[in-house]
Structure 1
C-alpha cells in the first residue's frame, strides 16, 4: 500500500453535498410557530420568510422571542405547533441539532467560543466541513482545496497576519471574526449571528458591518442585534419581533416610522 499523500482525501471522509431547493427564492419558511414555557408564550403564531442570499436583521426587546426562534431553527428547542422548512424539502422540526448543522445552517452565539489554546489556523482547520469521527481525525489530511478554502476564509475575516497566533491572544473583535470564519469554513447556506458587535470598539464594529455585508449573496445571513446604529449600517430588511410575533417588517426607515413600533418600543406620543 502506498504512503498516504499530504493532499489525498479519502472519498468516504468527504461529506455529501446537501441539496436545498430554493426554486421559489425562499430558503427559510417559518409558519404559525408557537413555543410555550410554563404557560409563557415565547413564540406566538410567528410567520417569517427569509429569501435565499439576503441579509435580514431581527430586532426586538428582551423576551420578544429572538433567541427562542433561533433555538427552534437549530433544533435546540422543540415547538408546540407550526412548521419550519429549510428550502422546499427539509423539515427542520423532524431533525436533530447535528443533522440541521450538516444541512448547512450555522449559528454564532453572542460570546465567542473559539479554541483559545490553538492557533487561528488550527481553529479554521477544525471547523472545515468534513466528518468529525475518530477515524477521520486520525487519517485525514488537508487537500489543496481545503488549504485554499482556509486561505479564502482568512482573507474574508481579515486575520491573515494572525494565522499562527493563539486564538486566546486575539482581541474581542478578532475572536468574533474568527468564530464567523469557523462557520464559513463549514460552508453553510444559512448563518444565524447573535449580537455580533456587543463589546466591540467603533472600529471593530465598522469592520464587522463590512464583513457581514460582504457575506450576503453567497450566504443567507440573519443577524440578531440590539445596536440600532449597527443595524442601520447593514440592514436591507428588518423584522421587529414583539411578544413572540412579527410586529413590523421593512427597511430601517419604514420600521422606525411604523406607528406600532413607535408605540411599543419608543413610547413616543403621536
Structure 2
C-alpha cells in the first residue's frame, strides 16, 4: 500500500469517527463461514491425542456433538476436559487427530481468533466481564464486529443491534440491570453476563466451563433455564462437576477418563455404568 493510499484510508476513518449519527464499518458483524451440517453433526473430534512432558492428557479421543444439542461432559480431575476445550478453541495444538466444525471447517488449521469468528464461543470458569463498564456496555463491546472500546463508544448502534442486546438481556435475566456496573453484579449474574457476551457473537458452538461453581441454588436454577433455552439455537457443551445440575439440563452425558470417552448416554445410563461407578462415582 502506498503512502497516499494509507493517508486516504486514515482520512476516511477519521471522518467516520466524527459522525455519531452513522453506523460504522467496524460495527458490521462478521459473517461466519458456511458450516456444513448436512449430517446433523456440528463438531467432530476424531482420534485426538495430546501429551505434556510424557503425560497423556488426551488419548485417542472421539467426540461428536450434534447440531442444536446440549451435551454435558463430566469426569474426575485430570480426565482431559480442559485440554479438550483448549484443543477445540485453538489454545492447544494436539499431537495427532482431527477437529472439524461441521464437515468442512478444519479447526486445527485456524488460530484462536479465526475459530471464534467461525462460530465457536468459550466461557471459562471464572467470569471475565469488564467490571468498570455497565452490563449494556459489556454486551455492546462483545458484539460481533466490534474490536475496540473507544471505537465502540464513538459509533451508533442500529435498531437491529439494539434489539439484539435487549433480547440477550432478557435471556440472561439482566434486563433490569442494563445500566448497572458489571462489578456490582453477583457472582451468578456475572456468569450470565459472560454467557450473554458470547451470545452477542452469534456462536454456533458454545463451550461452557463449570457455569454454576459458587452459585446459590436460585442462581443455579436460573442458569439451568438459561442453558436449556439455548439448546436448539446453539450447540452447547457444558463441563460440570455438580451432578444435580447436570441432571437438570442434560439429555446426553459424556464421561471422560484419562483423556478418552469412558461412557456416553443419558444421566441414568452413565450413573449405572460399572466403570463410571468405579472411577468417578467411587462406588
- Structures share a fold, TM > 0.5? yes
Q: Which residue matches 1:262?
A: 277
2:104 paired residue among 89, 100, 103: 89
Contact 1:85–1:92 (CA<8 Å) still a contact in 2? Answer: yes
Q: CA distance change for structure 1 residues 135 and 88 in 2, over 3 Å: closer, same or farther? A: farther
Superposition pairs of residues 188-267 of structure 1, within 5 angstroms: 188-267=203-282
1:265 CA drift (Å) = 1.7
1:11 CA drift (Å) = 8.1
Q: Which residue matches 2:94?
A: 79
Q: CA distance change for structure 1 residues 110 and 167 in 2, over 3 Å: closer, same or farther? A: same
Q: CA distance change for structure 1 residues 266 and 253 in 2, over 3 Å: closer, same or farther? A: same
1:142 aligns with 2:153: no
Q: Rg: which structure is higher? A: 2
Count of residue pairs brought into register by the alignment? 268
Residues of 2 paired with 1:6 and 1:26: CA distance?
43
Q: Which residue matches 1:35?
A: 50
Contact 1:13–1:140 (CA<8 Å) still a contact in 2? Answer: no
Contact 1:10–1:140 (CA<8 Å) still a contact in 2? Answer: no
1:102 paired residue among 113, 117, 125: 117
Q: Which residue matches 2:38?
A: 23
1:141-190 deviations in Å (ceiling 9; x for gaps)? 21111000000000000101100000000001000000000001111111
Residues of 1 paired with 2:42 and 2:132: CA distance?
36
Contact 2:205–2:236 (CA<8 Å) still a contact in 1? Answer: yes
Moved over 2 A (4+): 1-14, 133-141
1:50 paired residue among 65, 68, 78: 65
Residues of 1 paired with 2:238 and 2:29: CA distance?
30
Residues of 1 paired with 2:274 and 2:172: CA distance?
38
Residues of 2 paired with 1:11 and 1:114: CA distance?
22
TM-score by length of 2: 0.90
Q: CA distance change for structure 1 residues 243 and 90 in 2, over 3 Å: closer, same or farther? A: same
5+ residue gaps, structure 2, are 1-14
5+ residue gaps, structure 1, are none
Residues of 1 paired with 2:201 and 2:134: CA distance?
18
1:59-107 deviations in Å (ceiling 9; x for gaps)? 0000000000000000000100000000011100110000000001000
Q: CA distance change for structure 1 residues 143 and 50 in 2, over 3 Å: closer, same or farther? A: same
Residue 280 of structure 2 aligns to a residue in which SS? Answer: helix
Residue 102 of structure 1 aligns to a residue in which SS? Answer: helix
1:30-55 deviations in Å (ceiling 9; x for gaps)? 00000000000000000000000000
